Amino acid sequence: MKSLYRFVDYSIGLDPHAERDMEEMACTTCGDLSGCLPFGETQDWAIQHAAKTGHTGFRQVTTNYHRVVRNDRDLAPQLSVPAVFTPGQVVPPERA
């Protein structure tokens, strides 16, 4: 039996159906974590943690989800997001 191989190009981009810009803050002194919170709420957590503990150093991690598509099956522009929308912002219908 013969096999036919061919090269396929892939693209990667932000998953339009996943949450975006989920943040987590970590205290660099004790390692305490804020947990995954919507955009902007990790700063409030850090201020409250500093007030309780006196710890003043923090590391912020932002999480976004990406999706890989085959260029011959999916359109790469579907993954491209010209502006990063944050939770709470109005998302245009074509991206909802």
DSSP letter at 33 equals: B
Considering the rule CB under 5 A, would residue 67 count as an interface residue with Zn ion?
no
Q: Which stretch binds Zn ion (CB under 5 A): 17-25, 37-45, 50-58, 65-73?
A: 50-58
User: SS3 for 60?
Assistant: strand
If phi > 0 it is left, if psi is from -120 to 50 it is alpha, else beta; for residue 40 that is left
Tell me the residue number closest to Zn ion, measured at CB: 27
How far is C-alpha 13 from the chain's CA centre?
11
Considering the rule CB under 5 A, would residue 29 count as an interface residue with Zn ion?
yes
Torsion of the alpha carbons at 54, 27, 39 and 69, rounded to the nearest 10: 170
Among 21, 24, 32, 41, binds Zn ion (CB under 5 A): 32
Q: Which stretch binds Zn ion (CB under 5 A): 5-13, 29-37, 57-65, 83-91?
A: 29-37
- Residues in contact with Zn ion by CB under 5 A are 27, 29-30, 32, 53, 55
